Amino acid sequence: MPTDDTSREALAEFLGTCVLILFGVGVVAQNVLSRGAAGSYLAINLTWGLGVTMGCYVAGGVSGAHLNPAVTLALAVRRGFPWRKVPIYTAAQVAGAFVAAAIVYLTYREAFAAFDGGTRQVLGELGTGGIFATYPRPFLSTFPGGFIDQVVGTAVLMAGILAISDARNIPPPAGLAPLLVGLLIVAIGASFGFNSGYAINPARDLGPRLFTAVGGWGLEVFRAGNAWWWVPIVGPSVGAVLGAWAYDAMVGKRIPPAAGAGEVPTGRLPE
């Protein structure tokens, strides 16, 4: 059974991830269901970034605000985060994303009915599956194209997170690290979002996808896009570890001792 500390951390990860997905899925729902009249691609990127920022502020003081199983995995591999907590954090993150997706659907239920007449479709002109989870563009292969897309995006994310949270590098002023992580998300979305919507987070994709599977879209959510569903799980997991390794190999292990007195964080992200 989890200790009291681990339970508190899991609850923080649940709520922080829930907040993140509420903003992210909510802004996509508004844009799609309004047929582009409310919101834009820029608004989507900004809101996902702000969602990450708010999630970090919600959970950071308790759990470190991983909000992403790939980040949790990379911190276990490269920063000594306890392996026994990895499945607990991951379950909490996926559950938070699932609940957030359900809340967004409940909020926009009548808008969904007005959009598709009550018949849920994953893809196509009246498709709404992409509001919740990511799907590839028709030109994108599952492997290697989609896999590389997710590895690269998440590697950039993880390297950026470690740079922001490394007290020996150029640490941000107290309390501003979550904002910088949010801006990092905006930058990734603006530069690497075209292929498949930059999931770069297994919980962000799997939790809402599971909701759509039971919420009216059916098992087509796992078949669509040439069975795309596994790519936003495996790709980010590999990418986060590679990004952490790259940062450590080229920067983290090469910062002169005089550059800063802080230590590399061990499993905690900026608070």
CB contact at 8 A, 155 and 246: yes
The CATH code of the domain that includes 89 is 1.20.1080.10
Paired tokens of 84: 């026994």
Q: Is residue 177 part of a domain?
A: yes
pLDDT of residue 264: 42
CB contact at 8 A, 86 and 203: no
Q: Is residue 253 part of a domain?
A: yes
Q: Is residue 265 part of a domain?
A: no
pLDDT of residue 160: 98
Q: How far does CA 200 lie from the centroid of its chain?
A: 5
Question: What's at 75, amino acid-wise?
Answer: L
CA gap 91, 104 in Å, rounded = 20
Q: Is residue 107 part of a domain?
A: yes
pTM attached to this predicted model: 0.93
Q: How far does CA 89 lie from the centroid of its chain?
A: 14
How many other CB atoms sit within 10 Å of the CB of residue 24? Answer: 28
* Of 91, 65, 79, residue with least CA distance to 177: 65
What string of pLDDT tens digits covers the 271 residues of the chain?
A: 466 799 999 999 999 999 999 999 999 999 999 999 998 999 999 999 999 999 999 999 999 999 999 999 999 999 999 999 999 999 999 999 999 999 999 999 999 999 999 999 999 999 999 999 999 999 999 999 999 999 999 999 999 999 999 999 999 998 999 999 999 999 999 999 999 999 999 999 999 999 999 999 999 999 999 999 999 999 999 999 999 999 999 998 888 875 444 444 445 554 4
Q: Is residue 13 part of a domain?
A: yes
Residue with structure tokens 């999931």? 199
What range does the domain containing 84 cover? 4-259
Q: Is residue 55 part of a domain?
A: yes
Helix, strand, coil shares of the chain, percent, nearest 5, are 70, 0, 30
Q: Is residue 266 part of a domain?
A: no
Q: Please state the domain count of the chain.
A: 1
Q: Is residue 271 part of a domain?
A: no
